[in-house]
Structures are given as structure tokens and as C-alpha cells.
Structure 1
């Protein structure tokens, strides 16, 4: 039944039989047959059927909750037995908010030194996608904000406290300042992350608290794109301190602390709230707790 529950989870995520079958590596008729067999085994209809996928029945919604729990436990059991036989090995999938991408090596490098048979894949996602992909087993862990928007049922480990600076090219207005205020952002030609990014929502809230409403001249979901535009001298941006340095954009740029207030938000590692954890996730959480990064970013 485990494989059928896995197929069911993928179908709900993709909301399309053809795409789900492709994701599962089977033919669409095989997927449809597996879902029908699951319904027969459970004695309830799970999927509202028509000419295409139309969602779940109430029973299907409840089975989805059980399916995620059962599949998660089964994967944990398989990984634990593999670790018992061969030691810690495998692959960890991480999703990371754009502003935290540069800090990932501070976690992955010491981890891989201790566990050389573990590999990583790292993708950039917004905070909502991080939580959604955790819930759907698309990733093993994520790095996101911990204290600004609800996280739901996750296990979290603080990594560092993010504060905010005006990033601007040398020779531009404000470039010779020691500090700037949130209220002064109203008169600056800004490029910012897109509104689907929590960093942007945080910035918008601090601007609103200062009585400022802005329309960015450019938006992107890539920190590299923003820094490239700042480097031209025609734009400035609001970014966490040391982001420019972390991405290699240091020459000709200044980072000026934004005050009134000096805002801080915690960034950390999140993993599914599940006991026991898989051996890989358990080791990753242990590594994060030992880093001692839960202070202002330096």
C-alpha cells in the first residue's frame, strides 16, 4: 500500500493525472489503476472524478493526512536501516530563501566534513514554497525566517539574526552616510525582491511603520540581479547586511545600516515535525544546533 499512498500524494500535489504519472515514472493508466485500487482497499472514494482531476473528497482529504504520516514514517524506517548497515549516507534536499543562500556553506561544509558520503542539492525558494515543499516531501529541510510569519508544525533551529542595510554604489546620494532611516527610503530609486518573498514583506512592513509607501523601479526574485543593478549606480536596494559581500559584489558598493528602528529577524533551519527524524535530517539538525550562529550575522 505504501507505493499507492506515495502515488496519491504526488497526484494531489500535481493536480493532474498525466503530470503525476510522469513524476512517478509510470504510465497514466497505471496511476489511475493504483488510485482506484487504493480506494477499493480503503472502501472510500478519494478523488472527485470527471473529465480531469477535480480535487479530493472529504475522505480523500483525511486519507491525505494519513498518507503523509505513513509515507514519512516508512521513509524514515528505510533510511534508519540503511544507516545501520552502511553508516550515514544519502542525499539531502534543501530549499533556501534567497537572502540566506550565501550562508548555506556554513552549514553544508562542516556537515559534509563529518559525513562525506552525504550529498546535497540546494534550490532557491520563497518562504511559503519552503513550507509547502516540506509538507509534500519534496525537500528534506529548509532555511527560512522563523519569527515573522506562521511556520505551522515544523522543527526549527535558529541560525542567525538578519538586519537590514541600504546597499548603494559609491558616489551616489546617501553613500557617505553612516546610517539612514526607513523614512528616507521614500526618496531613493530602489530595486527590491518580488512581493512573494517574505524579505520583501518584511521590508514593506518596516516602511509602512515609518509612514513610507514606495514603488520599486525594479523587482526580481534573484539577489544577484538586484546587486548587478545596484552596481550600475542607478539603483539602490534594501538587503540584509553582508549579502553583497557574500555574493562577491563588494567593489564600489557601500552597505549603510538602516535605523529608526534597527530591525532584526531570525533565520533558521526548518524540518518536518516528526519523531523519529530520518538519520540524515537528525544529523543536519544536530549540526545546525552546534554552529553557534544564532546571533547577528557577521
Structure 2
């Protein structure tokens, strides 16, 4: 039945028989037959059908919660049995907000030193996509913001406080300053992350608090594209300090802290490792959470 439940989860996620079948590497008739067999086994209709997928029935919505739990428990059982036989091994799938990719590399490198048989898949995604992927069992964990938008019920380990830097060319008038207030960016030639990124929403909030209507002449979901614009032209961008220092290394750029006028300090947001809330976690995921606690710059703030 597990394979049928995985088909059902894929269909609920994709909301399309063809796309769901493709995501599983099977044919659409095989998927349709699998869903029909699952309905017969459970004795209820799970999916509204017409000429195309019509959504889940009320029974299907209830069954989806059970399906996710059963499939997750089954994967955990396999992980624990494999760990008993061979030690920690397998694959960890992690989705990461773009501004935390350097921390993802730090965490995976430290973990791999201790557990060389564990493979990593690391994907760059928005915070909203990360939560959806956790819910749909597409990833095992994520690196995302902890305190800016609702996350639901997850286990989390705060890693660091994200503060913001103005990234400018060394020829820019801002390059010689010790700090820059957000209000000074009014009318400047900005290139910023796209609005679907939570980092951009935080930046928009800071600019709005300074009385500025956020405008960007260039938007991208890639931090590399933003820094490349600053290198090649009269542009400014705003990035968290850690990723800014990494991308600006060896380039004719200056990083200037952005501060709020009322405090004279940079305002930070917590970023950390998140995983579906459950006890116990799989052995591999439990070890990853433990490693995150060891390298965390934020102590005593574990939340579940």
C-alpha cells in the first residue's frame, strides 16, 4: 500500500495526473490504476474525477494527512534499520533560502566530516516553497527564517542572526561611510531580490519604515546576479552580511552596515534549520539537528 500512498501524495501535490505520474517516473495509466486500487482498499472515493483532476474529496483530505504520516513513518523505519546495519548513510534533502546558502555549505561540510556515507542534495528555494516541500515530504529539512512569517509545527535550531549590508562599488559615494541609514537609499539605483523572497519582504519593510516606497530597477532570485550588477555598473544592492562577504570577496566592492536611525544598530532576523516536528526524528536527521546546535551562533533558543 505504501507505493499507492506515495502516488496519492504526488497527485495531491501536483493536482494533475500527468504531472504526478511524471514526478514518480511512471505512466499516467499506472498512476490512475494505483489511485483506484487505493480507493478500493480504503472503501472511499479520494479524488473527484471528470475529464481531468477535480480535487480531493473530504475523505481524500483526511486520507492525505494519514498518507503523509504513514509514508514518513515508513521512511523513518527504513532509515533506522539501515543505521542499525551500516551506521548513518543515505541522502539528506535540504532546501535553503538563497541568502543562507553559505550556512548550508558550512553545515553539510561539518556533518560530512563525521558521517561520510551521507549524501546531500541542497536546493535554493523561497521560504514559502520550503514549508510546502516539508509538508509534501519532498525534503527532509530546510534553512529558513524563524521569526518573520508563520511556519506551523516544526522543530527548529536557530543558527544566526541575519543583518543587512549595503553592497556598493568601491567608487560609490557610500563606499567610505561607516554605516548607512535605510532612508539614504531613497532614489538610489537599486537591484534587489524578487518580491517572492522573504528577504525582499524584510527589506521592503525596512525601507517602508524609513518612509521610502521600495523600488528596484532590477529584480532577480539570484544573489549572484545582484552582485554582478553592482560590479559592472552604478548599482546598489542589499544583502545579509554572510552571503555579502562571500560574494564580494576579491571584487571591487564595499560592504556598509545598514542601520535604523532610532537605534543606530542593524536589525536582525533569526535564520535556522527547520524539520518536520516529530519525536523521534530519523537517525540521520537527528544527527543533522545536533550538528546545527553545535555550530549555532544563537544559543538557548531551540523551538519546536
TM-score, length basis structure 2: 0.94
Q: Following the alignment from structure 2 to structure 1, what is the Cα–Cα distance between the partners of residues 214 and 37?
A: 55
1:182-197 to structure 2, matched below 5 A, reads 182-197=182-197
User: In angstroms, what is the RMSD of aligned CA positions?
Assistant: 1.2
> What displacement does 1:275 show?
1.9
Is 1:73 paired with 2:73?
A: yes
Confirm or deny that 1:273 pairs with 2:300. Answer: no
Is the Cα–Cα contact under 8 Å of residues 192 and 216 in structure 1 kept in the other structure? yes
- Do residues 240 (structure 1) and 244 (structure 2) align? no
- Please say if residues 230 and 237 of structure 2, whose CA atoms lie closer than 8 Å, have aligned partners that are also in contact: yes
Deviations along 1:180-230, whole A, 9 cap, x unmatched? Answer: 111111131110000000000000011111111121010000000000001
Q: How many residues align?
A: 295
Unaligned stretches of 5+ residues in structure 1: none
Query: Residues of 1 paired with 2:180 and 2:159: CA distance?
Result: 27
Query: Match for residue 175 of structure 2?
Result: 175
Q: Structure 1 CA distance, aligned partners of 2:274 and 2:191?
A: 29
Correspondences of 1:148-227 after superposition (within 5 Å): 148-227=148-227
SS of corresponding position for 1:234:
coil
Report the secondary structure of 1:18's partner residue.
helix
Match of 1:287 in 2: 291
Give the conservation status (yes or no) of the 8 Å contact 1:159–1:266: yes
Q: 1-side partners of 2:198 and 2:94: how far apart?
A: 18
* Matches for 1:70-149 after TM superposition, within 5 Å: 70-149=70-149
- Deviations along 1:135-183, one digit per CA (max 9) or x if unpaired, are 1111111100001101111111001101011110011121211111111
Select between 43-52 and 274-283 the one with higher mean Cα deviation. 274-283
Unmatched segments (≥5 aa) in structure 2: 300-304
Question: Equivalents in 2 of 1:216, 1:22: separation in Å?
Answer: 38
Deviations 1:48-94 (A, max 9, x none): 10111111111111110111011101110111011101111011111
Q: In the aligned structure 1, how far is the partner of 2:246 from the partner of 2:152?
A: 30
Q: CA deviation at 1:248?
A: 4.9
After TM superposition, list the pairs within 5 Å mapping 1:39-78 onto structure 2. 39-78=39-78
Q: CA deviation at 1:243?
A: 2.0
> What is the rounded CA distance, in whole Å, between the counterparts of 1:7 and 1:72 in structure 2?
14
Q: Say whether the 8 Å CA contact 1:227–1:249 is kept in structure 2.
A: no
**Distance in 2 between residues matched to 1:251 and 1:17, nearest whole Å:** 49
Superposition deviation, residue 288 in structure 1: 0.4
- Per-residue Cα deviation, 1:104-163 (whole angstroms, up to 9, x for no partner): 221111100100101111110000001100111111111000011011111110011010
Counterpart-to-counterpart distance in 2, 1:132 and 1:250: 37
Q: Tell me, in whole angstroms, the C-alpha distance in 2 between the residues paired with 1:119 and 1:8.
A: 27
Q: Is contact 2:166–2:236 with CA below 8 Å preserved after alignment?
A: yes
In 2, Cα distance between the equivalents of 1:286 and 1:173?
45
After superposition, what is the alpha-carbon deviation per residue over 1:6-57, rounded to whole angstroms, capped at 9, x for unaligned? 1100111111112212222222112111111111111111101011111111
